[in-house]
Amino acid sequence: MKKRIFGIETEYGLLVKDNNDNDFRLDPMEIANKIKNHIFSKNLGVLDLHYRANDEPPGNGGFLLNAGRLYLDMGHLEFASPECTNLVDLITFDRAGDTLIQEAVEELGWADNVSIIKNNVDLETNATFGCHENYLVGRGFPFDERENLKLLSSFLTTRQIYCGAGRIGSCDPHPFRDWDGVSPQEAVDEQVDFQISQRADHIPNEFYRWVQYNRAIVNTRDEPLSDPSKYRRIHLLVGDSTMSEFATAMKMGTTTLILEIMQLGVAKKEWILADSVQSMRSISRDQEFKWGVTLASGATSTALELQLDMLNTCQKHLSGTNAETDWILENWESVLTDLPKGPEAVLGRVDWASKYWMLNEFRNEENLEWQDPWLKSLDLEYHNLNKEAGLFWGLEASGDGYRTTTDEAVEFSKSNPPRGTRAHGRGALIKSLINQHSQMDYLIDWIGFRLSKTDEPFLMLDPFISHKEEIIEYLKQFDSLSHQENKPDLEMKNPEKR
């Protein structure tokens, strides 16, 4: 496909700190619910009036003015970005979601007691929570061919050298347990001081359909959230949540280029690893950052060498396609060139390296062991969305944190949708429901909406079409209807949960 659509879903960790008087008594689930409700109380979106699934009752979440979605997922706050056609928009809306949540904490007066942590693991319980990536591809994409799945798996396994968020320690969770209630045991046969990925320990399979159970490097579920005869959505849950805008852009950008060369049929089967799951962990846990791997052919290589060959193949077949592609290729080459120079060489561009450098400097100054609770607390603080407390924000303030967007663009994107996709029309719908049709019943999903049980659903199956003008015209028929004429028992054919 020549046109692109991206999306990111982020589950946030939540850290509650008692104050000196010990009078802050809300539990994490209560806090998450109050934050969500506070955001919707500001007329920044509309809460669901209907069940989306057994675990998503009315009021559990809803769509926002920026056409993204904020909701609770098994007790975690989660923000799903609107559909974006380019990386700059995607990074901007990802940051907008972060900002909406952090501002709610501050407006509720909880900044001293509640920290929103954009990471993927609780360092005390080793519970994990995800960052899911979404890529739209054509229905003809060769996703059902095992060799292609293994090629994608090899890329995702090795990209962690510049996409990982890093963490202190390790764990070996039971493969069939989800993060809720997990009580994993620390590995007893291997001491891991620091590893470059937060999710590597929690991925026990190479391929699998489920999202919450028995996670896989490549999720094979076919849930397009669009016209299934034309499109497929590649839904990945293997990646870390990244604080660096550059790291997020590289994570999403390089992956979409790999999908494009797979579509062209020029990805090399020589990249396939002997055991992607084992390589995922060994790369992440390599204390010397050598990142050696064994290929399916029996030959040995490194994650860096494979990524360089993947880059060269993408340069050969995709260079000059458009400005965004050339930006990805240029910066992919830059980060791969600088990684062998050490963590300081990619400071602000690679999260694990930035964190490692910060923690190692502090550890040496204070003469601490890696497992020291003080150091673990700083690990979490790297991901704190509070700019007065989060360690990452110091990199941006000093100019070391590479920006792809601006604060002004993020502010605008808190309440305005991106253009170029159906998100533009969805944003117009939400705005109308808040302003002109606040008494109307509604059912909204990614694929469309319904405002009356007597009318057919308004479907938005082609995500590249805005539908804004059609939606505005469609809404005019309801201008004279009273709220009593619209009943809450609305249904849409096969509404899908993202």
Residues annotated catalytic, as ranges: 73
- Sorted by sequence, the CB contacts under 8 Å of residue 105 that are 6+ apart come out as 35, 111, 114, 116, 386
Within 10 angstroms of residue 354's Cβ, the number of other Cβ atoms is 27
CB 122 within 8 A of CB 183: no
Which string of b and e fits 219-248 if b means at least 16 CB within 10 Å? beeeebbbeeebbbbbbbbbbbbbbbbbbb
Phi/psi for 312 (5° steps) reads: -60, -40
Q: What share of the chain is helix, strand, coil (3-state, %, to 5)?
A: 40, 15, 45
Q: How far apart are CA 380 and CA 297, in angstroms?
A: 40
For residue 321, what are the CA distances in angstroms to 211, 318, 326, 333? 33, 6, 7, 17
Helices (H), ranges, 265-322 = 276-285, 303-318
Torsion of CA 238, 239, 241, 245, to 10 degrees: -160
Handedness of CA 420, 421, 425, 426 (dihedral sign): negative
- Two tokens at 206? 């190479």
Within 10 angstroms of residue 373's Cβ, the number of other Cβ atoms is 10
- Sorted by sequence, the CB contacts under 8 Å of residue 316 that are 6+ apart come out as 266
- Two tokens at 469? 């003008």
Residue 397, exposed/middle/buried by CB under 10 A (0-12, 13-18, 19+)?
Answer: exposed
Element (H, E) at 92: helix 87-107
Residue in this structure with the two tokens 């604080």, named with its chain if needed: 243
DSSP of 228-267, one letter per residue?
TTTEEEEEE--SPP-SSHHHHHHHHHHHHHHHHHHHHT--
Cα 21–25–28 angle (5° rounding)?
A: 130
Helices (H), ranges, 339-455 = 351-366, 373-381, 392-397, 407-413, 423-435
- Do β-strands 13-16 and 114-117 pair in parallel, antiparallel, or remain unpaired? antiparallel
CB 425 within 8 A of CB 447: no
- Two tokens at 418? 């991106």
